[in-house]
Amino acid sequence: MQRLLRNTLAAALAVGLTTLAVPAPAQAQTHPDHGDRFKRVAYFVQWGVYGRNYHVKDVETSGAAAKLTHINYAFGFVNAQGECYSSDAWADWQRPVPAEQSVDGVADAEGQALNGNLNQLKKLKAKHPGLKALISLGGWSGSKYFSDAVFTPEGRAKLAASCVDLWLKGNLPGTAPGTGAGVFDGIDLDWEWPGTEANEGNVVRPEDKRNFTLFTTELRRQLNQFDRRSELTAFLPAGAPKVDAGFEVRDVFKNLTFATVQGYDLRGSWDPITGHNGNLFTDRHDPNTVKYSVDQTVRDYLTRGAPAKKIVVGIPAYGQGWTGVTAGGDGLFKAASGPAPGTWAAGSDDYKNLAKKPGKRYRDVRTGANWLYDGNEFWSYDDPATVVQKAAYIRLKGLGGSMMWSIDQDDSKGSLTSALYSVLR
């Protein structure tokens, strides 16, 4: 089966993978309430309105909004008191949005209650009925207190109630009750990571694994009380050790609408040699003792009881980069001196920037990987061809869909978003 799947995907790419999609109905069904089979999720980063100058309006003008089923808004945090809070209220609901940055071209009026990204998400949903927005909780820098918050039944109930109250009931601090109601259709849990170390300073304990299940049960209960249509999703890691340390997979998936699984950061500039950021299949030439791939991650979850239709595969709209790669050849699996310079952070850059970067491109169809090498810098990233190959895999395996981190890193035409949509609809 594995060889057949590899060969099918390779052949599909060779003839032009965009033709692989099942023909769309006469009118494309662009949102889940209108019958979509696959989830097409993208994260929108709260801080993008600053240096990146990326706004909710850009999701519309790129054409991406009509091709998505879900937008995950990143991030809300959990504080030391075990409650949900906004990590940037100014960006979330206080910043007056000018007309040129507004989804409908209308500036926020002086004194109106709801401004910022949340009001723009509300406008975007009005233009695209059925498009869902979820508040994503945690992330790399916002997961410090999750373990403490869910340690007891009382703590789990308190955290769930605070999250529903703030983000779904819309009781935003400094505003009238219910000001933010109707923006979010559910909650996405991005606790990185239960039971294993992640960002420095995070609280981690062995009980996290069981408590994560118990918290999803309690949160699902409170969501049902608020509105049974509310969705509950989670972002889950690659790597069997992280999965086994932090998640009772079969039980957790019973509480989730679906889960997005990590399909990127499989290798990065923290490694001494170059490698693939998000390869679809394991590279047979990979010299590392532990070998990662999207396919291996999917199989890890399936064998632990996750239903295929609830697994949504993470797709990177960015690349991982190394510098000081001077051994020649194609640069793959060669020694590096450190992370390559990036636009926003060393060792990482957006697809829209990498697509224009000089250097020779290489592609391994069997592995489902693409990279750039100029004799010194090596960048592993997804382009439309690898994205379509992954979308074909998702379709052939009967999985739930795709998730992109993050929408601001796609180009102004939404090339990666469009590539996914060409197959997953």
Segment 75-103, tens digit of pLDDT: 999 999 999 999 999 999 999 999 999 99
What is the Cα–Cα distance from 184 to 102, expressed in whole angstroms?
18
What is the Cα–Cα distance from 151 to 171, expressed in whole angstroms?
25
Q: What is the pLDDT of residue 83?
A: 98
Judged against a pLDDT cut of 70, whether residue 179 lies above it is answered with yes
Q: Which residue has the tokens 């494309």?
A: 28
Q: What is the pLDDT of residue 7?
A: 56
285-314 tens-digit pLDDT: 999 999 999 999 999 999 999 999 999 999
- pTM for the model stands at 0.93
Judged against a pLDDT cut of 90, whether residue 4 lies above it is answered with no
Q: Which residues are catalytic?
A: 192
Dig out the tokens for 187 from the structure.
């909650």
What is the Cα–Cα distance from 23 to 19, expressed in whole angstroms?
9
Q: What is the pLDDT of residue 10?
A: 57
Chain center to CA of 324: 30
Q: What is the pLDDT of residue 18?
A: 38
Mean pLDDT across 328-354? 98
| CA pseudo-torsion sign 249, 254, 256, 260 | positive
101-142 tens-digit pLDDT: 999 999 999 999 999 999 999 999 999 999 999 999 999 999
Instruction: Name 297's bridge partners.
Output: none
Q: What is the pLDDT of residue 21?
A: 36
Q: What is the pLDDT of residue 36?
A: 75
What is the Cα–Cα distance from 368 to 365, expressed in whole angstroms?
5
Domain 29-318+383-423 has CATH 3.30.200.20: no
* CB-CB contact of 216 with 186 (8 Å): no
Dig out the tokens for 64 from the structure.
């991406």
Mean pLDDT across 15-38? 45
What is the Cα–Cα distance from 215 to 357, expressed in whole angstroms?
44
Q: What is the pLDDT of residue 19?
A: 36
Verify cis geometry, omega within 30 degrees of 0, for the bond prior to 344: no
Mean pLDDT across 1-14? 51
Give residue 3's pLDDT band: very low, low, confident or very high (50, 70, 90): low
CB atoms inside a 10 Å sphere around CB 357: 16
Strands 70-78 and 84-86: antiparallel
205-236 tens-digit pLDDT: 999 999 999 999 999 999 999 999 999 999 99
Judged against a pLDDT cut of 80, whether residue 279 lies above it is answered with yes
* 32-36, 244-248, 340-344, 393-397: least confidently modelled range: 32-36
Number of H helices, E strands in the chain: 13, 15
Instruction: Give the residue from 335, 331, 334, 337 showing the smallest Cα distance to 373.
Output: 331
Q: What is the pLDDT of residue 366?
A: 97
**CA within 13 Å, CB half, 54:** 18
187-209 tens-digit pLDDT: 999 999 999 999 999 999 999 99
Q: Please provide the average confidence, as pLDDT, over all residues in the chain.
A: 93
| CA pseudo-torsion sign 344, 346, 348, 350 | positive
Question: Which has the higher per-residue pLDDT, 160 or 11?
Answer: 160
* CB-CB contact of 324 with 338 (8 Å): yes
Q: What is the pLDDT of residue 116?
A: 98
Judged against a pLDDT cut of 50, whether residue 23 lies above it is answered with no
Dig out the tokens for 47 from the structure.
């801080």
